[in-house]
């Protein structure tokens, strides 16, 4: 057994969708969350910049003595997760892309799968590669939705503008007759209700956080690293601590004592 916390990080508030699922599936595990709110979004950054930012955050989380890290950012997962695993071999590093692929292939009935994500995630081609590796018959249709992250970060949820943007982005995918859509950015499940309203009931939405939490649980069990303690939750950001506090309380549904701002460039 191991009562050290799990580290979770994202470019902003989107990783809270993973935090929520980990709390649900691993109720005894403590969590240290870092949101890089000073440098969000990652989706328009170069691979080298995303890799540098991610390494800084992992070094910060290791200072907090985490036993495992979940990269709750699809842009990082798609561009540099293997490099980060090589650079930090002494800690378990789990992602969200592979779990999303697994869920989508189990869900699709007609082998027509849509993927939405940031520009960096879509241009990486990581999702289509993994989907086709696991099912050569699948047809993959992807679409970058760069406005979704700023909408979520600025709290533009369930507004007329939100529905217009969603409808505009997803029209092409609907025309391809997809029956499954991977929400390939951890911000996007915060818009899941609105996306579902636009798409209707015939398209299954895949939130990779569900399977990601399950795979972390399996990794902890396999390495005898599960906690038996009462969990503690700590939240850190690179900027806008009060805004993160409000978003976290709204999304997680319980009061948070404080969100601490960190100068992440020092790591």
Give me the CATH number covering residue 147.
3.40.50.1860
In terms of domains, do 137 and 172 share one?
yes
Three-state DSSP class for 69?
Answer: strand
Q: What's the total number of domains in the chain?
A: 2
Mean pLDDT of the chain: 96
Please check the confidence at residue 251 and state whether its pLDDT lies above 90: no
Residue 138 lies in a domain: yes
Where does the pLDDT of residue 225 fall: very low under 50, low under 70, confident under 90, or very high at 90 and above? very high
Please check the confidence at residue 2 and state whether its pLDDT lies above 90: yes
73 is catalytic: yes
Region 56-71 average pLDDT: 98
80 is catalytic: no
- Count H helices and E strands in the chain, helices first: 11, 10
The pLDDT assigned to 166 comes to: 98
96, 185, 213, 216: which is the annotated catalytic residue?
Answer: 185
Q: Mind listing the pLDDT tens digit for each residue in 187-214?
A: 999 999 999 999 999 999 999 999 999 9
Residue 105 lies in a domain: yes
How many other C-beta atoms lie within 10 A of the C-beta of residue 65?
A: 10
Bond into 41 cis (ω within 30): yes
The pLDDT assigned to 113 comes to: 99
Q: Which range has highest mean pLDDT (13-17, 157-161, 180-184)?
A: 180-184
Residue 1 lies in a domain: no
19, 73, 115, 151: which is the annotated catalytic residue?
Answer: 73
Range(s) of the domain holding residue 118: 97-207
In terms of domains, do 34 and 15 share one?
yes
In terms of domains, do 28 and 124 share one?
no
The pLDDT assigned to 150 comes to: 92
In terms of domains, do 215 and 190 share one?
no
How many percent of the chain have pLDDT more than 90?
A: 96
Please check the confidence at residue 92 and state whether its pLDDT lies above 90: yes
Strand order in the sheet with 6-10: 92-94, 68-71, 6-10, 31-35, 233-237, 259-261
- 259, 236 Cβ separation under 8 angstroms: yes
In terms of domains, do 117 and 57 share one?
no
In terms of domains, do 101 and 199 share one?
yes
* End position of a domain, from candidates 207, 222, 244: 207
- Distance between CA atoms of residues 115 and 206, nearest Å: 9
Crossing angle of helices 16-25 and 241-252, in 10° steps, is 40
Cα atoms in the 13 Å half-sphere on the side-chain side of 209: 28
* End position of a domain, from candidates 207, 240, 258: 207
Tokens of 76: 């990082």
In terms of domains, do 22 and 107 share one?
no
In terms of domains, do 120 and 216 share one?
no
Give the H/E segment covering residue 121. helix 119-124
Residue 234 lies in a domain: yes
Region 252-266 average pLDDT: 95
* End position of a domain, from candidates 157, 187, 207: 207
In terms of domains, do 166 and 232 share one?
no
Region 80-99 average pLDDT: 96
Main-chain dihedrals φ then ψ at residue 12, nearest 5 degrees = -160, -130
Please check the confidence at residue 250 and state whether its pLDDT lies above 90: no
The pLDDT assigned to 35 comes to: 97
In terms of domains, do 34 and 52 share one?
yes
Q: Mind listing the pLDDT tens digit for each residue in 132-176?
A: 999 999 999 999 999 999 999 888 999 999 999 999 999 999 999
In terms of domains, do 159 and 222 share one?
no
In terms of domains, do 121 and 185 share one?
yes
∠ Cα 133 52 103 (to 5°): 30
Region 113-127 average pLDDT: 95
Cross-strand pairs, 206: 182
The pLDDT assigned to 56 comes to: 99
CA distances from 265 to 2, 57, 86, 91 (A): 30, 9, 21, 21
Cross-strand pairs, 69: 7, 93
């Amino acid at each position: 057994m191991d009562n050290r916390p799990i580290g979770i990080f994202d470019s902003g508030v989107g990783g809270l969708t993973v935090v929520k699922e980990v709390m649900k599936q691993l109720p005894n595990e403590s969590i240290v969350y870092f949101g890089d709110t000073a440098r969000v979004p990652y989706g328009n950054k170069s691979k080298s910049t995303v890799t540098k930012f991610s390494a800084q955050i992992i070094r910060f989380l290791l200072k907090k003595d985490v036993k495992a890290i979940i990269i709750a950012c699809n842009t990082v997962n798609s561009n540099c997760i293997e490099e980060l695993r090589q650079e930090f071999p002494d800690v378990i590093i789990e992602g969200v892309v592979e779990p999303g692929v697994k869920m989508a292939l189990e869900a699709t009935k007609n082998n027509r799968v849509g993927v939405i994500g940031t520009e960096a995630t879509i241009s990486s081609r990581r999702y289509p590669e993994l989907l086709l590796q696991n099912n050569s018959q699948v047809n993959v249709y992807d679409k970058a939705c760069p406005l979704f992250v700023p909408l979520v970060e600025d709290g533009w949820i369930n507004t007329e503008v939100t529905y217009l943007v969603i409808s505009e982005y997803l029209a092409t995918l609907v025309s391809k007759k997809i029956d499954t859509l991977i929400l390939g950015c951890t911000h996007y499940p915060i818009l899941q209700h609105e996306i579902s309203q636009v798409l209707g009931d015939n398209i299954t939405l895949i939130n990779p956080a569900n399977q990601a939490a399950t795979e972390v649980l399996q990794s902890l069990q396999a390495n005898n690293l599960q906690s038996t303690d009462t969990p503690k939750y700590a939240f850190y950001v690179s900027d806008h601590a009060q805004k993160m506090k409000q978003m976290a309380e709204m999304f997680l549904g319980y009061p948070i004592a404080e969100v601490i701002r960190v100068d992440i460039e020092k790591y």
